[in-house]
Amino acid sequence: MAGLSLQCGDCGVLLKSVEEAQQHAELTSHSNFSESTEAVLNLVCTACGKPCRSKTESDLHTKRTGHTEFADKTLEAAKPISLEAPKVDAEAEDGGDASASKSEEMVVPEVNKNILEELEAMGFPTAQATRALFYSGNSSLEAAVNWVVEHENDPEIDQMPLVPKDTKVEAPKPSLTPEQLKAKQQELRERARKKKEEEEKITEREREKERIRIGKELLEAKRIEEENERKRILALRKAEKEEEKRAREKIRQKLEEDKAERRRRLGLPPEDPSTAKPPAPVVEEKKLSLPVRPASKAEQMRECLRSLKSNHKEDDAKVKRAFQTLLTYVGNVVKSPDEEKFRKIRLSNQTFQDRVGALRGGIEFLELCGFEKIEGGEFLFLPRNKVDRAVLNSAGSELDSAIKNPFFGVL
């Protein structure tokens, strides 16, 4: 297959012709060239029509303009490369006027090699970087980049510039006086400051809008959470009432069955439901009129344990472990009332919290046994002079019943 380009063996760049290889050699001092069957890329921007010779050049064009679509026309423009050196002017071969030939000789202009290397490192092609440096006055990297940005749509942007051999590159002379230049710089700084202030104001307004939006969302989320919690509590109360109703119905049925069983054992006929006497309202009135007896210590303990089991009925194992732990505390005090370590409990102790403290009703039960909070609520302490064996024995009986009775807390 015929060669479609020349490849520099030193840097790997592809060149379209012998002339470009010569120019590349003059600029870079590279001399190792070989024929390649790979054609130089011809990526044409579909938005503005700019041709790009490499992927790096197309990426740079995309970064500057935002254009991302390129048509690959490499194969359309590819043709075998001619390896013949360009012919020398006939006039020069015939020994014409040497000074005239010399004055018409076109060469690549001399540019600042350091800036050229920086431009190439940034991804600019050699020809484009050389043209930018030459026409920007070979003054600075910033001026060259600005020139490329302003002339990126020029048709000859990727062609190596050629100038007469004796042409010297001169830096552009400033057209403003020092005072005018200083005033212009001050104006530009002031304009930049105002622009920055305006951007900061816009950013602050956007931040304030975002804070307000987030605040509204948090309030709405909190309202929804409270509403869901309220519905959950109502549903829980309703379920508890229904459970209590079912438990009472089971007890009533059990009592009826026991009553029927006793009548059967005594040889009495089954009771006719129609003859059953309804409870007299007078009796109910008498019951209501009886004086209410204050609950004993044992009843208070039983109610406390029943409440603890009801509050944590979803975890029977945790409730049973709490009852057993409380029974251990009470039993230790009864066995060794003079041992202070059995009468003092640190509330922050992790084991105590896991077994009793974290359950609603656990600490209340210990307080019914005589324990008191001391030292700012850090400890539960049962003074020696307040150790009441009768109360502790009653507490042990209630705990034992709560552990062994499977129906405890159901009624």
- Could you give the CA distance from residue 180 to residue 99 in angstroms, rounded to a whole number? 45
State whether the Cα torsion 127-132-138-142 is positive or negative: negative
Q: What is the DSSP string of 90-110?
A: HHHHTT--HHHHHHH-EEPPP
List of residues 6+ apart from 111 with CB closer than 8 A: 130, 133, 134, 138, 169
Superfamily of the domain at 93-173: Ubiquitin-associated (UBA) domain (1.10.8.10)
- Class of 297-404 per CATH? mainly alpha
What integer pLDDT is reported at residue 159 of this predicted model?
84
Question: How do residues 373-408 score in pLDDT, each as one tens digit?
Answer: 888 888 989 998 888 888 899 888 888 888 888 777
Strand ranges (DSSP E) for 294-386? 344-346, 372-374, 379-381
pLDDT above 90 as % of the chain: 18
pLDDT of 35 > 80? The answer is no
- Predicted pLDDT at 284: 47
pLDDT of residue 285: 45
Encode pLDDT of 219-252 as tens digits: 999 999 999 999 999 999 999 999 999 999 999 9
Domains 93-173 and 297-404 share a fold: no
Q: How high is the pLDDT of residue 210?
A: 92
pLDDT at 204: 92
101 pLDDT higher than 60:
no
pLDDT at residue 184, rounded to an integer: 67
Q: Is the confidence at residue 14, as pLDDT, over 50?
A: yes
What does the block give as tokens for 31?
A: 């001399």
User: For 80, which DSSP code?
Assistant: P
| Residue pair 377/347 in contact by the 8 Å Cβ criterion | yes
Tell me the per-residue pLDDT of 62-98, one tens digit each, with 9 for 90 and over: 888 888 888 888 777 667 766 665 554 444 445 544 4
pLDDT tens track for 144-170: 888 888 887 787 888 888 877 766 555
Domain ranges in the chain?
1-86, 93-173, 297-404
Quickly state the pLDDT bin for 288 (edges 50, 70, 90): very low
Long-range CB pairs of 41-49, under 8 A, 24+ apart, other chains included: 41/14, 41/72, 41/74, 42/72, 42/73, 42/74, 42/76, 42/77, 42/78, 43/70, 43/71, 43/72, 43/73, 43/74, 44/70, 44/71, 44/73, 45/69, 45/70, 46/70, 46/71, 48/153, 49/153
Percent residues over pLDDT 70 in the chain: 82
pLDDT at 150: 80
For residue 178, pLDDT over 80 is answered with no
∠155-161-162 over CA atoms, to 5°?
Answer: 130
| H-helix or E-strand spanning residue 71 | strand 70-72
pLDDT for 49: 80
pTM for this prediction: 0.31
pLDDT in tens, 38-51: 777 778 888 888 88
